[in-house]
């Protein structure tokens, strides 16, 4: 039997994609399904052999004790702050590095250093920098007379989330800069020349050429940054363990704590499931927001 060209193409594509699909199925698909399944059971690591169906019991417990709502609030506050600052600073640095400055190549390499350092090591490093009694951060700020008393970076309810945000910014900024820089280098120089001839200033060039041309890059990198920070675990766990009190308990910390400290896998899985729903909703809204104006030729280039 001879296969039609279309079927051959389909088979060819299927074979190409199959290994990746299988890998994703076993590493992501099945664990997600299993976790959704577990979220409807009373299951604890204390006694894995007994699993009883409790319908929405785990979800009811989650909403009853307020911790979930608090964790969602903390997560969104953290994600919005870190992604906004990351984007603003990243854009500034990318513009500087895209310009004609001395040691441009060397600087582009140096800026990547925090990115190649494993997150766990970065977290430990920042934990020591922020140590209130003998950490470098307080030492420098006190020497510069910017603060009088040592700040309790990681044990002050109002400062702890900012301290983690600073560490996250340090770690993730290189990625943002690199991606934006790559996007900027893809913009044809003639567009800027044409704009200059038309008398456009630097600011106009930025708002009318650079930003619109970077739209897709911005959409992708900020979405990646959002997802990366939504699921950020090591920085929080190592630096604050979700404390002081619950000031830095994000969804990832809450779900880990419930599943592996309280050993309540059912409730932990329910937290994970709700987290998944929130992520999906967020991505959908995000894509819709970026799609505004598209289809009318707004983003065509």
Partner 1 sequence: MRKTLFTGLVLMIVLMLAACSGGKGDEGSQASSPAASNSASADAQASGNADSGEPITLKFASWSISEEATKGALEEMAQKFTEQHPNVKIEFVGIPFGDIKQQTFVMASSGNAPDVIQTFTASFPTYAASDIVIPLDDLLGQDYINDLLPSYKEDYTYNGKLMGVPWAPSPYVLYWNKELFKKAGLPDRAPQTYDEMLEFAAAISKLKTDSGEQIYGLGEATEKLPINGMIALRNIYSFNGSVFGADGKVNVNTPEVIETLKYYQKIVKDGLSPQGAKLKDLRNLFSIGRLGMYSDGYYGRKVFQNLSGKGEAFDSAWGAALIPTNKTNESVSIGEAHGLVVSKDSKHPEMAVEFIKFLTDEPMISLYHDNSDVMSARKSIAVLPAFNASEFDKTLNDQLLHIKPLPANNQGLEQAYLEIATAVQKVTVAGESPENAAAELDSKLKQIMK
> Which residue's CB is nearer to partner 1, number 16 or number 69?
16
Q: Is 244 in the site for partner 1 (CB under 8 A)?
A: yes
Q: Which stretch binds partner 1 (CB under 8 A): 113-121, 130-138, 187-195, 290-298?
A: 130-138
Q: Which two tokens stand for residue 119?
A: 């997150």
Q: Identify the burial level of 290 via C-beta atoms within 10 angstroms of its C-beta, where 0-12 means exposed, 13-18 middle and 19 or more buried.
A: middle
What is residue 289's DSSP assignment? H
Count Cα atoms within 13 angstroms, Cβ side, for 298.
11
Site membership for partner 1, residue 8 (CB under 8 A): yes
Q: Which of 74, 83, 154, 173 binds partner 1 (CB under 8 A)?
A: 154
Pairing mode of beta strands 41-44, 47-53? antiparallel
Which residue stretch of 81-89, 128-136, 185-193, 194-202 sits at the interface with partner 1 (rule: CB under 8 A)? 128-136
CB of 163 to partner 1, least distance (A): 12
- Tokens, residue 272: 């994970």
The Cα–Cα gap between 263 and 266 comes to: 9
Q: Which stretch binds partner 1 (CB under 8 A): 82-90, 171-179, 255-263, 272-280?
A: 255-263
Binding flag, residue 21, partner 1 (CB under 8 A) = no
Q: Which is nearer to partner 1, 54 or 152 (CB)?
A: 152
Contact status: 16 vs partner 1 (CB under 8 A): yes
DSSP 3-state assignment of 39? Answer: coil
Distance separating alpha carbons of residues 184 and 206, to the nearest angstrom: 11
By CB under 8 A, residue 56 contacts partner 1: no
What string marks each residue from 29 to 48 as x (binds partner 1 by CB under 8 A) or -? ----------------xxxx
CA distance 142 to 156: 18
Q: Which residue among 10, 26, 56, 260 contacts partner 1 (CB under 8 A)?
A: 260
49 forms part of the interface with partner 1 (CB under 8 A): yes
292 vs 247: CA distance, rounded Å: 35
- Please tell me the number of Cα atoms within 13 Å of 127 on its side-chain side: 14
Residues 157, 276, 281, 292: which binds partner 1 (CB under 8 A)?
157
Taking CB under 8 A as the rule, does residue 132 contact partner 1? yes
3-state secondary structure 55-66: CCHHHHHHHHCC
The CB-of-20 to partner 1 minimum distance in angstroms stands at 12
Structural tokens at position 252:
């990832």
Residue 133 in contact with partner 1, rule: CB under 8 A: yes
In the numeric block, which tokens belong to residue 271?
Answer: 């937290």
Per CB under 8 A, residues contacting partner 1 are: 8, 12, 15-16, 19, 45-49, 131-134, 150, 152, 154-157, 241-246, 260-263
């Amino acid at each position: 039997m001879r296969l039609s060209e279309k079927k051959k193409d389909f088979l060819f594509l299927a074979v190409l994609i199959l290994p990746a699909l299988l890998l994703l199925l076993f590493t992501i698909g099945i664990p997600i399904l299993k976790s959704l399944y577990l979220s409807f059971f009373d299951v604890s690591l204390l006694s894995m052999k007994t699993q009883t169906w409790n319908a929405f019991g785990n979800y009811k417990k989650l909403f009853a004790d307020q911790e979930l709502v608090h964790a969602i609030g903390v997560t969104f506050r953290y994600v919005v702050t870190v992604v906004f600052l990351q984007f603003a600073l990243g854009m500034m640095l990318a513009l500087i590095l895209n310009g004609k400055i001395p040691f441009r190549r060397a600087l582009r390499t140096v800026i990547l250093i925090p990115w190649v350092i494993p997150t766990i090591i970065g977290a430990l490093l920042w934990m020591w920098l922020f140590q209130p009694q003998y950490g470098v951060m307080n030492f420098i700020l006190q020497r510069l007379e910017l603060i009088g008393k040592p700040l309790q970076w990681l044990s002050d309810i109002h400062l702890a989330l900012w301290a983690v945000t600073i560490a996250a910014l340090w770690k993730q900024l290189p990625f943002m800069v690199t991606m934006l820089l790559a996007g900027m280098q893809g913009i044809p120089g003639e567009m800027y020349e044409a704009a200059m001839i038309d008398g456009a200033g630097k600011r106009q060039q930025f708002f009318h050429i650079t930003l619109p041309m970077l739209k897709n890059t911005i959409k992708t990198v900020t979405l990646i940054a959002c997802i990366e920070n939504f699921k950020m675990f090591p920085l929080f766990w190592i630096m604050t363990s979700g404390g002081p009190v619950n000031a830095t308990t994000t969804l990832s910390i809450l779900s880990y704590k419930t599943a592996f400290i309280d050993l309540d896998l059912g409730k932990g899985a329910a937290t994970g499931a709700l987290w998944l729903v929130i992520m999906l909703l967020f991505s959908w809204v995000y894509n819709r927001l970026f799609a505004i104006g598209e289809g009318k030729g707004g983003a065509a280039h």
